[in-house]
A and B are shown apart, each in its own frame.
Chain A
């Protein structure tokens, strides 16, 4: 097979996006959507076709992008098992979401802009996944940022939406700053930006430098993946249309950070401190986000926080050294979270555009099918025993447990506790939306069949996704782990393993039970300052406003008024005024009287003669 076929993966969405951007507004609506869907489905087909190329790891180059003294960055792709797995997930989920979006956006204006951005987004995401060098990866990295910016602010007429997009772009760019520094540093140390080469030669690096390098990479990953402390943009990003949230802020872009750390794992794993920090950031974000999700009222914000929390688990997995567990959870999460978001979009339609879960309720009667599909998503998210989410989450918790020093044991504890919280807020969401009686006032919109029938495949993959990487313990073969070429998980004694399973199940029940009691027949909830604190995400926004934004604006104004206007222009204009002043004095000499001028002439002559005489004498 011609390996250049791989370029179709990127070129198809690129062409679709560029074509829709240029000519979409002159085409009929259906054709625009069809083109966009066709491009992504085509890309999915090419992934399947090219699958055999992945086993060996195939490298292809289209042309040299930037080359100058020692630097060579190609538009080149590297298709290995890790990249292939991600590509398949991204193109697959994106295909379904594109189809869903065709239904969801049926009555919106500006379809061409929407689908162009969506296609370009997939193109940029595939760039991240397939890039063979860090610069091309960075191109995709910023590309997804821009598309996300455009899509969050898709309904730009409301300033909040556009502001949310801008916040997302700038906060993630703060992360990118660290990533860029890491890139510069790696290039100056190793003289290359090629990922495979960096991984190969990582051992040459001075161990002292490894930890800061890994921390810088982690900073980049934190921005894109909305991890502590750069997580504040994700909940606001829910201002975008729901298909966007499903695609970008659940399944693909936000996992780019995890992917980056996995891609550079040979380098990352060399720094023990770096790994510990990665694990800690993951565990803390998982706990933080889960606690916030407990109090949210908007359906999409609950899901946004849950995404943040689940990605925290993936970071934890990377931090404890299990790439397979991280990627397994990434895949399963992508399926069930896309399912939940798309389900949420349908629910919002059903509730007449209402997104406050306190004003929903009783929707089970309106669409039983949607209930069952959503239930599958919730079970996966909550980690119900034997669902896909259960296996992938358990793998992470096991991995943390087996590494077992005191620090990791702590993180393991946080992970298990957070699993309980997750179960609680998942069922809170389910009960509030589907059970009890309808508390809203708005009437339901008609549901396009596309909004329902794109969900079952996702439900299927979510539910059985755990089978990809089923541990030997259950009679599985850790297929994904073997495919990715990672070392199989350590075998634990049977008792420990059973004990951990029972513990996980107990925490699941411990989360479900209070939710069942509290929210099954929900009427109203009392306001409390504690709940408001969680609702506002521990008030991190206010903290950053106070710590970062205000000083930033103050300095800006200070530089302008005191620096440019005051000091520099003051000096310059002052100089001008002084000269004018002197000029004024000089002007007084021009009296116009002949006698005055002759006097001056005589004095001058005297001075010159005196000077000459003095020189002659001395």
Chain B
């Protein structure tokens, strides 16, 4: 079908506001949890189908594939403008996919189900909005919108130390974003003074000329918001706490999606706005990324809570992504984005599986779990598959991205890339320790004292339905990533050129 015909219809707004419509309906139907459940599932599925359809139909071009632009607050030059290119297309699709998973894994939610599903859907709107907005105020709006549902998801439905974790998460990210707000208003004013046109539009602000010092300051303001979200060492300590205390859907969204918004912000806004400052910062980014890879992998090795292991593994993987970005070439950037997708799927799947495990055993403690293969063989097989994908086994999702990142960054930072390879050994160390603690060994203490029936319930139909597509996706991304790389290469080469590298 002709892409021009597509633009006549506001597909982007549809994708963006559909979940919010679901939210409102959920709140209206709050007295029948069953209806809310189905409603949110249908909403997320509809968004997913729409995204997949767009993914198939849209051509692989370099520039924007779809755009919408309406005046919003004309007196300040704020517009409602949404744009979609290959990168945002992939990330929006990933969001839609994981959100279906988040709803399905929370199927048995008993405590305030309507509110829970409503918040999950609001979050979907927030995340999709971040990936689509090209007006800075609109972007900032969605950026903060993501925070609120997550705050409540952790604060209300979380585990033990949930209030501490929720507040820590909120303040860390809010502190970062406030600097971004300051920086973006300054940028707006400077640009307005220079040209006389006051605008928050991405394309317009790119052409602002700045003195090196201002550029660096504003760049740091933007980057602070993004690196906290990624999170880059040493701004990561909110993540393990948030992950550990969050309910399953929250963990899936955090690891699978929220972290990606940080990376997306860098490549969409921070680098194009401030190309010279970005170039100067690359070696530092690379070094911080490398430290993060090791530091987080190291810490993951001594954790006893499964969710914490995965949380730190996320920090480590995001280190690879940033390392790829700092190499600033096509190969590494494609790798970084591919790794983001792969990491979203594998980590999302792992958090989903941890929720299933906790459902059955009531524990996430590696010291008391063990021997699960005996009682839950199918569950264990999936768990092993996703763990292997996470440790970067060739042929599964993460490897394809990782090796591209390494190949790309070796040309720019040979020594750092060589060290980063060692991070792969570390990831094997903590992932296999995790697998050992859950699957192998004698049946854990917990299972001996707990009621036996809970352990003899292997995957049910809903869980099969959830895991099979994820497993297939992990293998597909690992063995034939071409369809995912194809929409990426055009936009990436544009961004690299726009980023001001000679």
Q: Which residues of chain B come closer than 8 Å to A464, judged between CB atoms?
A: none
Q: Select the stretch in B75-83, B105-113, B421-429 that faces chain A.
A: B421-429
Cα(A135)–Cα(B403), bound, Å: 9
- Are B237 and A187 within 8 A (Cβ)? no
Given contact pairs A156-B439, A174-B425, a sample of 13 additional A-B residue pairs in the complex whose CB atoms are under 8 Å apart: A68-B330, A68-B331, A68-B334, A69-B334, A139-B395, A156-B441, A157-B371, A157-B443, A159-B440, A184-B410, A553-B301, A556-B302, A568-B237
A106 at the interface (CB under 8 A from B): no
Report B478 CB to chain A, min CB distance, Å.
9
Q: Which residues of chain A come closer than 8 Å to B479, judged between CB atoms?
A: 65, 75
- Are A157 and B442 within 8 A (Cβ)? yes
Say what secondary structure dominates the interface of chain A.
Answer: helix
**Known A-B contacts A65-B479, A159-B440, A557-B302; A71 and B393 likewise in contact (beta carbons under 8 Å):** no
Q: Which residues of chain B come closer than 8 Å to A557, judged between CB atoms?
A: 302
- Are A184 and B418 within 8 A (Cβ)? yes
- Are A564 and B237 within 8 A (Cβ)? yes
Q: Which residues of chain B come closer than 8 Å to A166, judged between CB atoms?
A: 432-433, 436
Using a CB-CB cutoff of 8 Å, which residues 372-411 of chain B contact chain A?
Answer: 373-374, 377, 381, 388, 393-395, 400, 403-404, 406-408, 410-411
Report A133 CB to chain B, min CB distance, Å.
12
Report B184 CB to chain A, min CB distance, Å.
24
Q: Select the stretch in B138-146, B154-162, B274-282, B480-488 that faces chain A.
A: B480-488
Report A24 CB to chain B, min CB distance, Å.
11
B179 at the interface (CB under 8 A from A): no
A180 at the interface (CB under 8 A from B): yes
Q: Which residues of chain A come closer than 8 Å to B102, judged between CB atoms?
A: none
A180's contact among B168, B388, B406, B441, by CB below 8 Å, is which?
B406
- Are A170 and B404 within 8 A (Cβ)? no
- Are B436 and A559 within 8 A (Cβ)? no
B335 at the interface (CB under 8 A from A): yes
- Are B388 and A65 within 8 A (Cβ)? no
Report B335 CB to chain A, min CB distance, Å.
7
B299's contact among A139, A153, A560, A572, by CB below 8 Å, is which?
A560
B414 at the interface (CB under 8 A from A): yes
- Are B480 and A65 within 8 A (Cβ)? yes
- Are B481 and A66 within 8 A (Cβ)? yes
- Are B441 and A159 within 8 A (Cβ)? yes
Q: Which residues of chain B come closer than 8 Å to A19, judged between CB atoms?
A: none
**Known A-B contacts A153-B440, A553-B302, A560-B302; A187 and B407 likewise in contact (beta carbons under 8 Å):** yes
B295 at the interface (CB under 8 A from A): yes
- Are B424 and A572 within 8 A (Cβ)? no
Cα(A560)–Cα(B418), bound, Å: 25
B410's contact among A142, A153, A174, A185, by CB below 8 Å, is which?
A185
A177's contact among B301, B425, B489, by CB below 8 Å, is which?
B425
Cα(A188)–Cα(B236), bound, Å: 32
Q: Which residues of chain A come closer than 8 Å to B299, judged between CB atoms?
A: 556, 559-560, 563-564
Using a CB-CB cutoff of 8 Å, which residues 160-202 of chain A contact chain B?
Answer: 162-163, 166, 169-170, 173-174, 176-177, 180-181, 184-185, 187-188
A69's contact among B295, B330, B425, by CB below 8 Å, is which?
B330
A594 at the interface (CB under 8 A from B): no
- Are B381 and A173 within 8 A (Cβ)? no
B298 at the interface (CB under 8 A from A): yes
- Are A173 and B428 within 8 A (Cβ)? yes
**Known A-B contacts A21-B381, A177-B421, A181-B418; A188 and B301 likewise in contact (beta carbons under 8 Å):** no
Cα(A120)–Cα(B190), bound, Å: 62
B9 at the interface (CB under 8 A from A): no
A208 at the interface (CB under 8 A from B): no
Cα(A153)–Cα(B384), bound, Å: 13
Using a CB-CB cutoff of 8 Å, which residues 404-420 of chain A contact chain B?
Answer: none
**Known A-B contacts A142-B394, A185-B414, A553-B301; A68 and B404 likewise in contact (beta carbons under 8 Å):** yes
Report A189 CB to chain B, min CB distance, Å.
10
Question: Which 9 pairs from chain A and chain B are nearest by CB?
Answer: A162-B440, A69-B330, A139-B394, A156-B440, A184-B410, A159-B441, A556-B302, A560-B299, A556-B298
Report A168 CB to chain B, min CB distance, Å.
10
B432's contact among A135, A170, A176, A184, by CB below 8 Å, is which?
A170
**Known A-B contacts A170-B425, A560-B302; A156 and B373 likewise in contact (beta carbons under 8 Å):** yes
- Are A180 and B421 within 8 A (Cβ)? yes
Cα(A63)–Cα(B381), bound, Å: 28
Please name 24 pairs of A and B residues whose Cβ atoms are closer than 8 Å in the assembled complex, sorted by A.
A66-B400, A68-B330, A68-B331, A68-B334, A69-B334, A139-B394, A139-B395, A142-B394, A143-B393, A156-B441, A157-B442, A159-B440, A159-B442, A163-B436, A177-B422, A184-B421, A188-B410, A188-B414, A552-B298, A553-B301, A560-B298, A560-B303, A568-B234, A572-B168
Using a CB-CB cutoff of 8 Å, which residues 407-460 of chain B contact chain A?
Answer: 407-408, 410-411, 414, 417-418, 421-422, 424-425, 428-429, 432-433, 436, 439-443
Closest to A137 in B: B394
**Known A-B contacts A66-B481, A170-B432, A180-B424; A25 and B334 likewise in contact (beta carbons under 8 Å):** no
Cα(A63)–Cα(B483), bound, Å: 13
Q: Which residues of chain A come closer than 8 Å to B406, judged between CB atoms?
A: 180, 184
Cα(A568)–Cα(B299), bound, Å: 14
A51 at the interface (CB under 8 A from B): no
Cα(A163)–Cα(B418), bound, Å: 28
Using a CB-CB cutoff of 8 Å, which residues 477-502 of chain B contact chain A?
Answer: 479-482, 485, 489
Q: Which residues of chain A come closer than 8 Å to B403, judged between CB atoms?
A: 66, 135
Taking each of B295, B400, B440, which has the highest tally of chain A beta carbons within 10 Å of its own beta carbon?
B440
A569 at the interface (CB under 8 A from B): yes
Using a CB-CB cutoff of 8 Å, which residues 227-245 of chain B contact chain A?
Answer: 234, 236-237, 240
B72 at the interface (CB under 8 A from A): no
B95 at the interface (CB under 8 A from A): no
B347 at the interface (CB under 8 A from A): no
A314 at the interface (CB under 8 A from B): no
- Are B373 and A64 within 8 A (Cβ)? no
- Are A572 and B417 within 8 A (Cβ)? no
- Are B428 and A184 within 8 A (Cβ)? no
B441's contact among A64, A157, A564, by CB below 8 Å, is which?
A157
Q: Which residues of chain A come closer than 8 Å to B173, judged between CB atoms?
A: none
B64 at the interface (CB under 8 A from A): no
Q: Which residues of chain B come closer than 8 Å to A158, judged between CB atoms?
A: 441-442
Q: Which residues of chain B come closer than 8 Å to A149, judged between CB atoms?
A: 432
Cα(A181)–Cα(B237), bound, Å: 31
Cα(A563)–Cα(B302), bound, Å: 13
B464 at the interface (CB under 8 A from A): no
B53 at the interface (CB under 8 A from A): no
B329 at the interface (CB under 8 A from A): yes
- Are B330 and A146 within 8 A (Cβ)? no
